[in-house]
Structure 1
Amino acid sequence: MSGMTIREGLLATIHGKEADRIPFQIRTSYLPHGEVERECRNKGMGINYALQCMHTFMPHVRVITSTTMTTKRREIKTTFETPVGKVSQIRREAKPFGGRFNGIGGHLIEYPVKKLEDWEVVKFMAEDTQYEPYYERFDYFKRLIGEEGVIFTFVGYHSPYTKLLIEWAGVPRLYIDHYRHPEKVEPVLEALARNQEKQFPIAANSPADIIKYGDHIDEGFISPSAFEKYILPIHNKFARMAHSKGKITAIHCDGRLNALKHLIGELEHDIIHAVTPPPVGNLPIKEALDLWENKIIWINYEYHFMGPKALKKHLLNLLRSIIPGYRVVIDASTERWVPPACLRMFANIMSKATLPLTERKLRRIERSV
């Protein structure tokens, strides 16, 4: 086992210091509890909790939900009634009693914005949203996690542009309306940006170890010009505020990043979170490390669908590509539940990845697992 505790090694890494091994983590909600959990955590796998640091509410919006369930799926309809009109969305949860364990999550099949008039409704929702600090749980979870890991919190879940893409409009509607009717869409983006700034001091003053500001960045949905105009300024504004409080900040970039890599380098966050190696992602981790010299790369290791044998080969090749192995954290998954057999192989390899990595060490690991 490591001379450092799990928490010490992770904090050393994210603060730009040297740990004695590559930190490897998993979010508690994606961890298969039981025998494999004990085995992997005894090998040094850390855990992280994601806690909200604020309550969010819309005092002048009535929210109504209804659920339709079958043996194959569950659909949740949410209606937002405002003084200027109403909108609704439908979220489908696949396999309600087993989807989480198959790595299948829910998704919106109907977005709130369906016609031009709906932009005025969501603008009202953006302006009406209010926040109150909610720090009470942090002390409890810090005692609970102890030296086993760290605690994240969030500024919202998406910044304004990605909120429209992922939560309120969807890709086709946003693109078409933004091009044809910018006078409808731009006021919503501006209202969201003004409103989200109210979250900044609440998050910056929270007791979390890391503050993450969204954002599910992917070049397939966010062009370089959109990133430069809508993502970069608001993220850097938050990062500066949080840094003035001595906090570590991150942005969630789990998609394809090659076309955005130089702009991502202009972000003032400390951590680029959930970077997914090829072939699911398209930016090699070694290239990201070379480009973003002052940043920590938190890797989303999204390859458990391969099965343990192929995972072993892929993970060892990834480790070879980043020798000597500094400035990275490897997460078993930032996105979904991990099958036990794959988690066991992941932990067996990562538990032996002491720093600095060398080819000789990796050959020894390869023979031992």
Structure 2
Amino acid sequence: MTQAIAAKGIRIDFAPRGGVLQRMEITDEATSIAPLHRAPWSRADVPVNAPPHEEWLAGDFLAAPFGAKGPHGLHGLPANGDWRVTPSGPGTLRAILEGEVQGATVIKELSLQDDHPFVYQRHLFIGGSGALPVANHAMVSVPNGARLSFSRKRWWETLAEPLETTRGRSRLAYPRRTEDAAEFPAADGSSVNLHRYPWGEAHEDFVAGIEDPTSRLGWTAVVRPTEGDLFLSLRNPAQLPMTMLWHSNGGRDYAPWNSRHTGCLGVEEGAALPLLGLSSRETPDPLTAAGQPGLVTLDPQGSTDIRHVIGAIRWPSGQTVAGVMLDGDLLTITGDWGAERTVALRGSWLGIGQQGAQKPKPAADWDL
């Protein structure tokens, strides 16, 4: 059963099974925007040996460890387990993962604020040991195509192997790395423009962009011209230096996908070096060499706080986003032909300019 929280102009639904931010609905300029994707199947369509999260694939969830081979699949226990919702204040939902991740207790907190078109999302790892790949896993519904823009990236890189070969199709070349997002190598020898969705007909692909170390604010903008709106993903690039794109557009022919899972764009922000097909094999790897974290490191005696913001606004011009700038508690989005919107944002919440996010409160202060 889902639970809802709301503030003026925004409402979200949370599903404790899988810890899914299942739906986000924003009212902006008298228009309702619901940008998150939901898979077109029921639980009965999902094979018994599939990861549990495929039964309820929708919205946004936490993947940790991301890409690891284990009993909880490629997205880990947070995406496949149960979360216990605990009491919290107005406009806030807090939940605790049943079970541990590398010995850490994991707390999820989703909060809203009146007239802010954003969900403020944080995950707190209390204790635990070692380092692990972590990413948020927002899925945007783009049935009519989209235009993508990003904060400055050093390069783009695919996995070691294609997502699909014998039971489906992948469009990109694997493994490959290039600095130009507009001309990423394709499997057939041509090139693909990563700034556009889709990249081709009936394909399943994954590619990651590595942030420029000088970036102050990490952002991804997905313009949906037909819908007249804009999805935004914001993060502190000093903590989460990777933007990973999952194109799921009819490229899997087996159940439950059956070539019908189309128009889905995953915008997955995180630190997940092992998913880079070339860079993960280099010593030192190019993230570490530039002082960027390739993994999230847990603190056995303390906690690790990961923050991420997603939201949406009306964007009737359909212009490609040229820039996103944070100034105090205001976020200004500009288009490549002069469109501009300024919206409210908790300016200090992401801990921009710090090595990580805001310092969390002591574990004793949480209702565990």
Question: What TM-score bracket applies, with the shorter chain setting the length?
Answer: under 0.3
Greater Rg over alpha carbons, structure: 1
TM-score relative to the length of structure 2: 0.23
* Structure ranking higher in strand proportion: 2
* Structure ranking higher in helix proportion: 1
Higher relative contact order (CA 8 A, sep 6+): 1
